[in-house]
Structure formats: C-alpha cells, structure tokens
Amino acid sequence: MSELVIQGFTPPLRLADFRLAAFDMDSTLISIECIDEIAAVAGRGAEVAAITEAAMRGEISDFKDSLRRRLALLQGVPESVLEQVLQTRLQFNPGARELCAALKAAGLKLLLVSGGFTYFTAYVAAQLGMDFVRSNELELKDGRLTGGLVMQAWGEICDGEEKRRMLLQCCADIGCLPSQAMAVGDGANDMPMMSVAGLSVAFHAKPRVREQAMVAINQGGLEQLLNCLV
C-alpha cells in the first residue's frame, strides 16, 4: 500500500485558502480507541473492541446504537479506570502535534470532534490548542459509570451527522465556507464531515474511508499532510 495517496486534485494546495481543520480523536490524533482501553482495563475488552471495529468499518450502520451497546458493557466501571487510561495508555499519533502546530501557525482554527468522551477530549484539546470541541460525556454516579451518557445542550451522542453539523457550524461561526475546511479521520463516522469539507484526509483509515478521501495517509505520521500544502 502506498504511503500517501492523493486523488481528485493536483498538489500542492495553498494552506492560506483554508480557515478550519476538523479532527477526529481516537485512532486519528491519538493511537488508541478510548472506549476499548477502558473496557480492556475493566476486563471487558474483547466484546467492546469487536463492536468498535465493526462500527468503524461501517458494518454497523447506526453508530449511536453501537455506542450504546458498548457503554452498557461498561456499567459499574469505576471512574479511576478513566484516569488510568489517560495516564498510561493515551499517546498521540506521530505528527499530531507537528501538524496542529503548523496549522495554527498558519492561522487556521482547529476543531476536535469525536465520538469519544469529554474526559479525554479535554486533555487532547488542551495539549493541541483546539479552538472548538464536541464529544460525548460519560455519566457517572457514585464514582462509577452508569453505562449511559449525559444529555448536553446540543444532544446526547456525537455521531457522524453531528460531526458534519459541527464542522458546518464552526465554518459559519468563523465566517468561512465548508470548502475552506479540511477534515481528518479514520472511521465510517468521519465520512459525513469529510464529505462536506474542501479537503478530506484519511489517516491509517478503514478501506471505505480511504477510497473516498482526497488524501490517504496509509503509513507514517500526520505531518505528511503538510507535503500536500504550501
């Protein structure tokens, strides 16, 4: 498989033409799927990971249903497991810091939009200097996961459609067109936001996502995207 695949345009593109960069978190900016790691630490890894993999490949069409099924398996897991995953398992993917720093230096706003959880997106957003964040909030009671999510002002679950809506909302908020946005992800639930962005980037992605992306980074780090931009 080629390290970098480009389709639908002739590089380089002008970085100055972009105003917003939207990123998925799990398996894109960071090397793990947080829900799988929570389950693994809690001794429930195999069943949760199987649902995650099927959802990211697009074999489970309803992301909300797949997330609810996985969360139900985590009912009763202590909050301390979240901290353990954050401290011992969460690592940034190669090039994540470099790419985000370069985009910010060029004046782009950064959006972190994730089907993962606020416990982890807050840390990642702070580390990478994100301007906007949308993700799911785990519900806790008496220091343990309930197996549910907290209803937020925008809704309960950040799925593919919510990712798309959030990208468009951020474009409107900063006064740019969707064609001036780039979207970076790896799974089926990233495809809706990638479909409306001016530049879609698949990072070590599932086959369906690679096939539709304008740029597919199949090996190496995220900083390779900068090779397509001037």
**pLDDT, tens digit, 9 for 90 and up, residues 173-227:** 999 999 999 999 999 999 999 999 999 999 999 999 999 999 999 999 999 999 9
> Is 17 tagged catalytic?
no
End-to-end CA distance of the chain: 25
**Residue pointed to by tokens 């067109």:** 177
- Bridge partners of 138, per DSSP, are 149
Chain centre to alpha carbon of residue 206: 13
87 closest CA partner among 32, 142, 17: 32
Q: Which of 17, 24, 142, 159 is catalytic?
A: 24
> Is 26 tagged catalytic?
yes
**Residue pointed to by tokens 């962005």:** 197
- Bridge partners of 4, per DSSP, are 217
Task: Please answer whether residues 20 and 176 qualify as being in contact, where contact means their C-beta atoms are separated by less than 8 angstroms.
Answer: yes
**Domain positions in the chain:** 4-31+93-228
Reported as a single tens digit per residue, the pLDDT across 32-80 is 999 999 999 999 999 999 999 998 888 888 999 999 999 999 999 999 9
Q: What is the DSSP letter of 24?
A: -
Largest CA distance in the chain: 55
CATH of 4-31+93-228, one of 3.40.50.170, 3.20.20.70, 3.40.50.150, 3.40.50.1000: 3.40.50.1000
Q: Using CA atoms, how far apart are residues 161 and 206, in angstroms rounded to an integer?
A: 18
Q: Pairing mode, if any, of strands 144-149 and 132-136?
A: unpaired
Helix axes 45-57, 63-72, angle to 10 degrees: 170
Reported as a single tens digit per residue, the pLDDT across 5-18 is 999 999 999 999 99
Q: Radius of gyration (Cα) for the chain, nearest Å?
A: 17
Q: pLDDT value at position 38?
A: 97
Q: Which of 17, 26, 36, 159 is catalytic?
A: 26
Task: Please answer whether residues 221 and 93 qualify as being in contact, where contact means their C-beta atoms are separated by less than 8 angstroms.
Answer: yes
Reported as a single tens digit per residue, the pLDDT across 75-114 is 999 999 999 999 999 999 999 999 999 999 999 999 999 9
